[in-house]
């Protein structure tokens, strides 16, 4: 385990102050660096073509030689959404690297599964139904009373 991962494991995040402008832990600082870099890239992708069109309308409204679209239209209609997808992929990749650096594992180690592949515990995603049909917990009925 790396030194950064060991420090992360020893940090009690419930006792740490969460401040977006002054993160209190190295993990939070590194994550915020990724978020700010993505935000700046997003702002350039979204507002860059519009700003360039206002500054240099002749160049941005000129027709592209290959596709025949005006430059501003192509940059907003194609590069904007494509840039958002690329930014999402870059963020996911950077976050995975950050999680690896700090030893964060997102795999779930739940209870043992039975031969049908179902675990014996109910989850919120299955409506609280146990494999045998019994309810996992009490439920509130439409009239406001709790049903066991």
Tally the domains of the chain. 1
Catalogue the long-range contacts made by 58-67 (C-beta closer than 8 Å, 24 or more residues apart).
Answer: none
Q: 147, 138 in Cβ contact below 8 A?
A: yes
How sure is the predictor about 122, in pLDDT bands with cuts at 50, 70 and 90? Answer: low
Residue 39, domain extent:
3-101
**Residue 114 in domain:** no
pLDDT of 54 strictly over 90: yes
Give the per-residue pLDDT at 118. 56
**Whole-prediction pTM:** 0.61
Average of pLDDT values for 116-137?
54
**Residue 127 in domain:** no
């Amino acid at each position: 385990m790396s030194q950064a991962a060991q420090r992360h494991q020893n940090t009690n995040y419930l006792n740490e102050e969460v401040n977006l402008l002054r993160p209190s832990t190295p993990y939070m600082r590194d994550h915020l660096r990724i978020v700010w870099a993505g935000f700046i890239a997003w702002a350039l992708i979204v507002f860059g073509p519009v700003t360039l069109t206002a500054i240099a309308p002749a160049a941005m409204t000129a027709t592209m030689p290959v596709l025949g679209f005006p430059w501003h239209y192509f940059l907003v209609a194609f590069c904007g959404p494509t840039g958002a997808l690329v930014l999402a992929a870059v963020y996911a990749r950077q976050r995975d690297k950050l999680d690896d650096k700090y030893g964060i594992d997102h795999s779930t180690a739940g209870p043992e599964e039975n031969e049908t592949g179902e675990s014996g515990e109910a989850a919120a995603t299955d409506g609280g139904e146990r494999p045998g049909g019994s309810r996992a917990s009490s439920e509130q009925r439409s009239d406001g009373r709790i049903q066991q």
